[in-house]
Structures are given as structure tokens and as C-alpha cells.
Structure 1
Amino acid sequence: MKTIRETNGRLRYLPIGYKLMLSYLIFIIILVSVNGYVSHSMYDASMRKQTRGNLQGTLLQIRDNVAYKTDDMVRISSTLYDESTFVRSLKAEVFGKENNTRMEQVILPKLESATKSIGINLRLSIYTRNETINERYYTYKNNNDYSGGQTYNIYHLSRIENKGWYKRLPKEEYGITMVWKQVEEDNGSGRISMIRRIVDLSDPVDVQEMGLMRFSVPLRELFDSVDYRKLGEGAMLLVRDQSGQLIFSSGELPVFGGIPDRSPSKYADMERKDFEQSYLKIEERMIQQNWTITAYVPLTIIKQEAEKVRAFIIGVCVVCFILFSFAGVFISRYFSKRITKFVSVLNAFREGDLHKRMTYRGRDEFSQIATALNGMGEDIEALIHKVYLTQLQKKEAELEMLQTQINPHFLYNTLSSINRLAKFGENAKLQEMVVNLGKFYRLTLNSGKTLIPIHSEIEQSNAYLDIQKVKYGHRLEVTYDIDPEIWKYETMKLILQPFIENALKHAWSGDRIHIRIVARREGDVIRYRIIDDGMGMRQERLNEIMVDADESETGYGIRNIHQRIRLQYGDQYGVSLYSRLGIGTSVTICIPARKRKLFL
């Protein structure tokens, strides 16, 4: 087999296998060169792993100590959150003596008990929507005034309703929603608050917000166990929230660039590569609070031992980088130009542009692929065009066939009624029936259009019912429940009248019948419902109606409409039936909500 040279001895092309082999050799050289770097990395990783194992337990204990205090606060808040007597007291609007009794016997004792249930300086603030409850609060001399130990305050919710932190509270989930955040005076006083709503669950359908609980504690007391000295000198502990915002820190960062920076932005240095190489980073998550406790431990000893190896590895990496860069640029340009052409043509095919072709000079595998790709595009374009025309013709033929299969007995029955009215000389009813019959067929034909405005379909059904009212008189009662919003949408024609006709044929129970016609838009769907109070059907009868037409002749008209809708709109639309014997039948017709065109 000729692979490299033609018969005349000229170089044919270098096969792609040789190209890949050359690339492979280049990578082998690189891998050998960086073997020392890998060895150093493994040594460094093992030292970090050993150190991490010793420190992970300490950090886990610190996390558990913080979690114990936060869980205590959650438990205290739950005693108010789940206390129905307390919630009812906040909800009740009473005045005078009753209000004083409520405050002294229910609300204040509950708040007093909650504030003294934890051994830290706790400020409990209750914001109530009920303004019949008197406000009661402490006035602190300064932000750090903790006199009085645990305190509680009562405010009206109107004080904070327009504040950003209140508006940004997440949607309430029973027993779950709570937020840890620094709000109000917290930033200035070195505190943090646990915020939780008070809700009224007396009506499960309409859960109402009665107010807000805010438990404010000093950061120093909450995070007293977060002490860098537990990890060793030079270490640092940081507590961050889910957005990365710093909540608390212990320990001092080293100076970068020779100038110490004590502002919060100094923590950006922790993302620097030289910082990561100088410190071991360990993290523990507090799931309930969505906090992260991060420990940075200096690796001075490891760094000193690895300096010599690192200097050697840096030299090797620089050389490898230069060699790899030149080789990578050459190989990338060689293949990318060719592959890009194929990708552009394939993307054009995927987007439906089958006219795009590519030209390729050369006699290697790429030229063969280009020739095959161009031929494939031509073949697919011809095939799609052929299949599209065939399917379009088939769909039009099926729609036309189903349209012509609508039950013609209506015209025969109406003409019989006209004949009977003429025979008995009831000229007024005769004239009314003829006018309604003409109106019905004018709307039915509709210049041969399949899609018509919804109001035309309703009007056509109404014309049919007007004809039947002449026949049945007061025994036929019709009610319309139409949403005016649907007038701007279109529908297939003749999908309501056959079901109305079917009800008048088979649903009579006694000497009267009531038919209700409903039309609503529900999201992206238009739903029609034809409901009668007739004799109804058994489940076996419903199953028989909705089986395949080849298996049963029963319900042919229903299946006809069902097939027309699915053929026009897709399999997710169509007809469904519900019936109870002795109660009546409900027919639901589902079509997509599509706005009608102006020419309709």
C-alpha cells in the first residue's frame, strides 16, 4: 500500500499517524523534563497532607464550638417561632387593660425567658406588625454598652419595612428560613444578628408574617473559640459568609510589599499565588449558617526544605515552557486551520445552511474528508427537500380528509326540521331556522380557512345552538362562560359544534338538558369545556370511544377532532373526556394559545 510516495517517486503526504507520533514524542520529552517537578510536588503534597491531618481536628473542634452557640440561638428562637400562644398574642389587636394584661402575662415573660436562656450578652429585638402592642426598648449610651446583661426590645415593623436588609430577606420556608447578618447598629458595635420571621400558621393556605425576631450577639463572644493560637504562632483564622464577606478574624496577616495594610481589602492578598505557597489552607463549612471557617497555617519549615528543589524545578520548567510553546504554536496552527474549516461547514449544516461548501488544497486525509463532506451536504439537502415536500403534502391531505369527514347528518336533520315547520305553517320559526342555518354554514366554510378567530368559532357554535333552540324550545338551556382575553387568539374551526351536537343526540336525561360552554386561557394553552347535565356514561363506554378507530366505530367524530388537533398542533394537545353516570359529561379540548393574524 502506498502511503508516503507515489509511483513517480514524489513525496505524497505525511500521514496523520506520523504527525501524531511526532506530537507524542514532544510530549514525552516534556514529561521527562518535568518529572523532577512532579516529584517535588508529591513531596510537598505529602508534607501538606501530614500537617493538615494534625490541624484538621483542631479546626473541627473550633467549628463545633461555634456551631454549639449558634444552635443555641436557633433553639431559643424556635421557642418563640413555634409558640402558638405567643404568636396569637402578637396577632390580637386589643387596647387598654387587655393590652396591659397581654404584655405583662404573655409577651414580656416570653421575651424575658428567651433572653436569659443563653449565657452571652444577647440583645433580642422583636419587630411586630401589630401596632396595638406598645414599643419598649433600651437606649444604649454607646454601641458597645452591654449594661443590663441580656436585654430585649419591642419595635413596630414599620421602622424597618423600607430598609434594604429587610426587603432582601429570603422567602419564608417554615422552620428553615433564618439569616445571619450584620444590620442596624451591628457594624459599629462589633455584633452580628440572627434574623427570623414570626409567622401565623393558623391558615396553612395563607401564611402571614406577624413580625420579625432579631437576636444580636457580640462577635467576640460568639467566636471566642476562634483563636489562632490554637493552631500555632503565625496562623490565622477567618470566618466568611456565603458571599465571601469577612465576618470575624483572629491573627494577623504578614506584610506583603513592605507596607502593612490593616483595611479589609488586605484579605485579597490571600488569593495570591505566593500566599498559597507560604500557607496551608484548611476549611470547614457550617451548613446551617452557610459560613466557612478558614485556617491559614504557615509552612515555613516545608518551604525552607523545598527551596533547593524548587530552584532546580523552575529552571527545568522555563526550558520546557519555551520548547513546548514553539512546538505547540506550530502544531496548533497546522491543525487548527484545517479543522476550523470543517467545523464552520458542520456548524452551517447544523443551522440548516446546506449550501455551504469548502475548498481544500492538498492530497492528504483532510482533502478526502472535505470532498466527502461536500458530497454529504448535497445529498442531505436533496433528501431533506424531498422528505419535506412529501410530509407537507401528506399533512395537507390528512387535514383535508379529516375536515370532510365531519358528520353530515346535521344538515339532513335541519332540513327535516325546516320541512316540518313549513308543513305546519310556523313561518316565524321557519325563517329563524333558515337564517341561522345560513349563518352557520357561512361561518363553517369561512373561505376555506382551517384556522379562524376564537370569536368566530364561538359564534358558529352559537348559530348551531340557535337552530336547535328553534327545535327544542325551552327544553334546551345554554350558558356561556367565555374569558374576553381569548378573543385575540386563533383556533381550528369546527371543534366545538360536533360535541354540542353529540350532547343533544345522546345526553338527554328526561325532557330537558343544560349545556355549559367554557373557554379560558391557562398559561400557554386555550382550554374549551362543553359540560352537560345529561345521563352521563360508564367508564367502559369512555374507553371504547377513545380507542383506535380501527378497533371501534364508536366515537368516530370525537376521534376525528382529536386527530385533527394533534395533526395541526402536536401530540401534547387534543380531546379528553370525563363522565359520571347519572350526573353528566365534560369534554375538554386543549389547543395552544396562539395570537391570530390580522387578516383573520
Structure 2
Amino acid sequence: MIRRGKREGETAASAAKTRYMPFGYKLMFSYMALTLVPVLLFGYFANSILVESVRKQTSGSVQTALRQMKDNIEYRMKDTVRLSDMIYYDNAIAARLRHYESGWYSYESTTQYVQPKFESVLKATNRRIWLSVYLRNETLSEVYSMYGNTDPLTYAGQSFDVYHLRRIADRPWYRAFPPERYGETMQWRQVERDEEFGNISLLRRLVDTSMIGRQQSDFGFIRLTVKLSDLFETVVPDFGEGTSVRIDDADGRTLFATGGSEAGMASADGEERYLTVEEPLHGDDWRLVARIPKAWIEKDALKVKLLTVAIGSVCFLLFLVVGAVLSRYFARRVTRIVTVLESFRHGDFRRRIRFKGRDEFQTISQSINSMAEHIDELIRQVYVTSLKKKEAELEALQAQINPHFLYNTLSSISRLAKFGRVEQLHRMVSDLASFYRLSLNEGRTIIPIANELEQAKAYLDIQKAKYVDRLGVLFEVEPELLRYETVKLILQPFLENVLKHAWCGDRVHIRVTGRRVGTDIEFRIIDDGVGMTRDTLQRITAHDRREGETGYGVYNVHQRILLHYGKPYGIAIHSRLGVGTTVVIRIPCVLRSAPEKTDASAEAG
């Protein structure tokens, strides 16, 4: 009880050291909030509106510019498609290309029809372009140039080559080409070495138009290659310093990028510093993306921010001075009251306070002085009464040890004497004497943990004489715990409950463990008995001392631990029907105050 009172005193002292905001500061900050906050809010909303306006204006301008770029790009793409249409829809050249006849006919078709047609396609534009035609008809000769490791567009400017289709039959990009829809199926892709040379190709099949409406068959493949820089020539980031523009394909890869130090890269960690504007391109397959630094957009808004901060700082300093003067004027009497109350909080009720004048503060001071005199005397009386009450409750609780234990033990001793089992009789009488010697413990409430364990073992030894092999017991206690002390009789009541209620069949095993957990000690009493239902467990752990429900075991031990150590400690029960029950007892680590007598000296005494 004394130790608990000391702990409560330390808690109160710790609480007394807690800092708080003085009343004068509250007055000052309230005044400042009424004046400074509106200014800050006005500046914040003005800045937000300006930034949003600039951002929308910039976004609209960029969107318009991107649409112009999009129109120019799509015009060049359509111009390339137009060149492929000159071959795709030409039935005469198609008839020559799919006619299988070698010799003079093949030579004539190549020189008189095929090559002139391809040359006319190249002459229909002034852009650099490379036409590659792949034919299934291998009776027509291949016509191509040797470019080595050079870019065909750089090497020849405008040129065409004719190959047999087997050259690309196994290429992944050709095998993945989508099914033919006449007049619609085509792809813009970077194939072969296009990405290396900065090119892109328009890919398209050559189909037999005579089979329209029926199953179509392709007789060739067209590849028109152009420079990315020519196709996207109009993509110019002229929106301001640090801006960039890029074109991403359907897979998110960047085909072309220009401007800015991060051109062509979707920087994930830098996206918050940029305003990103997108425009769909080539249907919805490509994206035209412009990135403009927000710092460049918001450079005018920065001036407003700085002005707002300057005004807010001046107001803050001004209000700080005014608030300090006002708070000191109004809070001086409150501070004196708080000082006296703080002394009361520390247990010093001798301080008094007096104010001049006839106002509310003078009435408060008289009431506080009168209250202090009465509280000082009342605390002394209540504290002493509370200590005596708790000690009486503790003694009453400890007096509730089940008397049937003594009766049952004496009955067992009588049976042993009747049947002449002297050795067992002697051992049981010794265990009973040891049990009650440790229970009485010279009237002390606090005992060494070693004595508590010895008493529990004596109790179980007495029960083993009754149950013999039907009772299994195992103690697993860390030797370190023997240095500490505990409230007595916290293990035996639960061992008794196991033997009363936990039998499942004709055997039961009990395991008692003890270990240190941080600054606490934790005992566990584990059995493999019948267990408890959820309703029974809830009723027991409620710690209500209803007659016939919780009995001695739970209520007595829990209350004694609470009375001595406080609410953080006590018992907890875990049980499953058909599995067993575990009782967890938690107490603080308290070193033994003085060495105890040895068992030999105790018995001698």
C-alpha cells in the first residue's frame, strides 16, 4: 500500500511538470487569430486564383499550339499514306506483281511497269523517303542497293528496293501485323534499324483487289520509311524557357522529343514541377505531350506570395507586441491564481492569495483560501481512512482460503493411517505443515517468490498423494525471479481450481511457468483440461464477485494484486472448450527488501 501511494505521488509530480500555455498567451493568440488569419486567407486565395488563371491561360495556349502541330503531323502522315495508295489501289501494277511467269515477261514487267511505277511514287513528293516492296512472286527479280551500315535515307535520299517476301516472313513485326481490312489496315512502326537511324516506317499489305468480298490474299508488303525529324518537323517547343514536347506511341515509348533538359523522358520524380498538356495523335494511338515548368508559369504569382509573406510578417510582429502588452495586463491576476493552484497541486496548501478591490478576483481569492484550509485537513483524513480500508479488505480477501482443502487433506491422512502407509503419511503431513507455515508467513502479506513457489509445490505434492499418476505437474520458472517478492497466495487458488473443474477423463496435466517480461513478472498456469465456454470465461473475467460464479480463485487473487500494485496488473484467462485453460498472472518486478530465513532456520524457529 505504501509503495502504491509512492507511485501515485510520483505520477502527480510528473503531471505537475507538464507544460501548458499560459492564459495571457491564449489571449494574445486569440487576438492575433482574429486579425492575422483573415489577411493570410485573403493572400492565399488571391494567390490561388492568380496561379489557376495563369495555368488555364497557358494550358489553353499550349493546347492550341499542340493542335496546330497535330494538324501538320497528320498532314505529313496522310501524304505518306497517299504515296502508298498509289501502289495499293493500282490494279494494273498489282496484276503485274502477282503474275507468275519467268523469262521475258518477268523482265518486261520489272523494267517497263514496276520500276517506273515506283519511281513515279517517289517523284510525287519532295521529302526524303525510302520505298521497300516485298513480293511473294519470286519470278520477278529483286532490285535493291547495298547500304551497308548507313541509313538509306541519308545515303540515297529517295530510293526504292524490291525484295522477295521470304526475307521478312519470320520477322516478329511482320508476323504480328494485324489482319487485313481492305483500305484501312496499316501501321506506323519502328522496325529493323529504324530506331537506330531515327526513322519510322508505314507498313501496309498489298492485296488482290479482285478478291474483295471474298477471302482476300496478299501478294506483297509495302514499307515506306521517312525521317522522324521530317515527319515531326513542326514539333517546336516555343512555349517558354525549359519547355519540352515529345510524342509517345501506344506502348508509352517516346518516338520523338525536343526541347528542355529532360526532353523525351517522362520523369516520374519531376512531374510535380511541370504542367503537362496532352493531345491525341494518329487516332488515339499516339500522344503529343508538352511539359512546361510550373516555375516559369507561376513567376508572377511568386511576387504575390512574397508580398503576402511580407505583409503577414509585419502584421505578426505588430500583433505580437500588442498582444503581449494586452495579455500581460489581463493575465497578471490569473497568473497569480495559477501559481497558488500549482502549489496546491504539489501538496502545499499553505499558500494564500489576496487581491485588492471588490471584484470577481477578490471573491475567487477568498474562496480559494477557504477551500485550501478544508482540503488540507480532508485529504489527511481520507488518505488514512483509505489506507486502513484497503488493508482491511486485503486481510478479508486473504482469509477466504477454502477450508475444504484442510478437511480433504485430513481425510486423506486418515485413509493413509488406516491402511498403514507410513511413508506417504509422513510426507503428506510434512507437506501440509509446510503449506500452512508458508500460508501464515508470520502474518506478512508480501513474501519472496521462492516461498510462493514452495507453497504451490507443497500443495501439489499433497494432491499427488491423492491422485497419484492421474496428476502431472511441471514447473518452468526462471531462476532470476527468485530475487523478487510478490503478494502471497497467487498461484495456489488457480491450482485448486484446476483440480476442481478441469478434469477431462481421469487425467490432467498442469504446467507452471514464470518469466520476466520487461519490468514485469509473468506467471502462467496451463492445463490440458476440459476448458470453458465463452460465456463462462466472460463471466469469470468480469471479476464480479457474485455468489457461486467466480468463487475465490479469480476474484480473490485479482483484487489482492489490484489493491497492492494498481490497475496495470492482475490476471487474464484464456480458455478453449476441449483444449484447456491458461491463467496469466502479471505483477511488477520488486526486489526483496531483506534476506529471508532459510527453510532450515524457519523450521527450527
- TM-score category by the smaller chain? 0.3 to 0.5
For CA contacts below 8 A with separation 6 or more, give which structure has more relative contact order: 2
- Asked which structure has the greater CA Rg, the reply is 2
TM value normalised by structure 1 = 0.46
